[in-house]
Amino acid sequence: MPFPFNPDQYEAQLTDKVEHLKAIFEGIALPRPEVFRSQPRHYRMRAEFKFWHEGDESWYAMFDPADPKVPVRVDQFPVASELLNRLMTEVREAVHIDPALRERLFQVEFITTQQGDALITLIYHKTLNEDWETRGRYWQEQWGFPVIGRARKQRLVLSRDYVNETLRINGSDYVFRQYENSFTQPNAGVCEQMVGWAQQQTSNGGGDLLELYCGNGNFSIPLAGNFNRALGTEISRVSVQSAQHNITVNNIDNLTIARMSSEDFANAWLGRTESRRLREWAVSDYDFKTLLVDPPRAGLDEDTLALARHFDRIVYVSCNPQSLADNVRALGNDYRIETSAVFDQFPYTHHMEAGVVLVKV
């Protein structure tokens, strides 16, 4: 393993993360964080590996950041789902007996779900021909899950390019289509807790919800029922496509997804630029009370911070607590933190997700 895997030390490392969050927020009144734990094993639903070849032997490889040129052999990956581990073995065995599958294979990606769905992507340094497609279809049938072949300027989808995941949020089930090569939360169990926390924090929100960086609707679909209407913005075309599907299958009738970056939306909403699309979406008709953001690691840019200052309540989930703290400081004394949380998406690493609810004073 390229990082320490020690379930016996799970609680200790989680305690360290909580203390680190408090240190990052030094000088800010931070309520005691609510802590949402991960399963110590088999919690990760997706993983990608380099595929290393030495003579007649081929194996999965990861790299230690401290020594990035030396591959670390990975035969099993105990942080990943049991299904993912099973498929790792089956794919590696197939590669060893099928030259068409093995030749110039350099990366393998797996997506699995809690319900037992999976998707396998094989990535090559060669053009994929009819022979590869024939063998790919054969192994797709043997493995029992869809296969995608990728190479430079090639993407061969042999049956489908998504999995269907069901997340249980505060006692209700929500179905999400997750596409290959698009962002989804890797730790499904913690994702359920994180979305459940956000749903509880907005249970008496009233008015309408605006979510920026909404992805495939992971937050906005379960939260929409707490509001009269909800609007989500997302720049990724694949994520918007997924979100539209997820809205339909979950029978959500008060949520609209707008394909637009947070910066462009902020500038248009603040009247700094003209936007025909905001008029088409009738954004001026919304009565926004709550803003929900789960931004990239860099946090909120200045334009989005300017938009945020117009909201009475901000639910902020972050994969980078440092940029979260910086944004809270930038908002200044106009807001207080009502509640905070730690979501342990990535056990045995220094990474953590954090959440705060900011209320205008």
Catalytic residues: 319, 353
**Distance, CA of 265 to chain centre:** 22
Give the H/E segment covering residue 265.
helix 262-269
| CB neighbourhood size of 134 (10 A) | 10
What does the block give as tokens for 93?
A: 């065995």
Instruction: Give all strands (DSSP E) within the chain, no chain letters.
Output: 34-36, 46-54, 57-64, 67-74, 105-112, 118-124, 147-151, 154-157, 162-169, 172-179, 208-212, 230-234, 255-259, 288-293, 313-318, 335-343, 353-360
Contacts of 343 (CB under 8 A, 6+ apart): 36, 190, 193, 194, 197, 317, 352, 353, 354, 355
Give the separation between CA 101 and CA 74, rounded to whole angstroms: 19
Which 3 state secondary structure label does DSSP give 117?
coil
> What's at 77, amino acid-wise?
F
What does the block give as tokens for 269?
A: 């909403």
